[in-house]
Amino acid sequence: MTTPSSILPMSHTSATSTTNHPPPSRRRHLSLARWKGAKPIPLVVSITIGLIFRFAIPKPHKLSKNAWQLLAIFLTTISGLILGPLPVGAWAFFCLTLTVVTKTLTFAAAFAAFTNEVIWLIVASFFFSRGFIKTGLGDRIALYFVSWLGKNTLGLSYGLALSEAAISPAIPSTTARAGGIFLPIIKSLAVTADSHPKDDSAKKLGAYLIQSQLQCSSTSSALFLTAAAQNLLCLKLAEGLGVEISSKWLTWLKASCMPSVVSLLVTPVVLYKIFPPEMKDTPDAPLMARRRLEQMGSIKTDQWIMVIVMLITVALWIAGEALGILSVVTAMLGLSLLLGFGVIDWNDCLSEKSAWDTLAWFGVLIGMATQLTTLGVVAWMSDAVANFLKSISLHWFGAFCVLQATYFFIHYLFASQTGHVAALYSAFLGMCLASKVPGLFAALALGYNTNLFGALTHYSSGQAAVYYGGGYVELRDVFKLGIIIALMNIVIWALVGAGWWKIIGLY
Structure confidence by residue, pLDDT tens digits, 41-81 = 999 999 999 999 999 999 998 899 999 999 999 889 878 87
- How far apart (Å, rounded) are the C-alpha atoms in residues 76 and 308? 45
Q: What would the pLDDT profile of 331-353 be if each residue is shown by its tens digit?
A: 889 899 999 999 999 999 998 88
* Closest C-alpha to 306, from 163, 123, 128, 177: 128
Closest CA to 79 of 44, 35, 54: 44
Number of H helices, E strands in the chain: 27, 0
Helices 206-223 and 462-469 pack at an angle, to 10 degrees, of 170
Q: What is the pLDDT of residue 43?
A: 95
Query: 401 pLDDT band (50/70/90 cuts)?
Result: very high
Name the phi and psi angles at 49, rounded to 5. -60, -45
User: What's the pLDDT score for residue 354?
Assistant: 74
Q: 207: exposed, middle or buried (C-beta count within 10 Å: 0-12, 13-18, 19+)?
A: buried
152 pairs with which residues across the strands?
A: 281
Q: CB neighbours (10 Å) of residue 272?
A: 16
Map residue 281 onto helix, strand or coil.
strand
- DSSP-assigned letter for residue 132: H
Q: Which SS3 state, helix, strand or coil, does residue 176 take? A: helix
Mean pLDDT of the chain: 86
User: Is the pLDDT score of 114 beyond 70?
Assistant: yes
- Specify the length of the chain in residues: 507
Output the pTM of the full model.
Answer: 0.73
CA-angle at 233, arms to 111 and 184, nearest 5°: 110
Which of 84-93, 218-227, 394-403 is most confident? 218-227
Res 13: pLDDT: 41
**Contact (CB, 8 A) for 175 and 418:** no
| Residue percentage of the chain with pLDDT more than 70 | 93
Output the furthest CA–CA distance in the chain (Å, rounded). 99
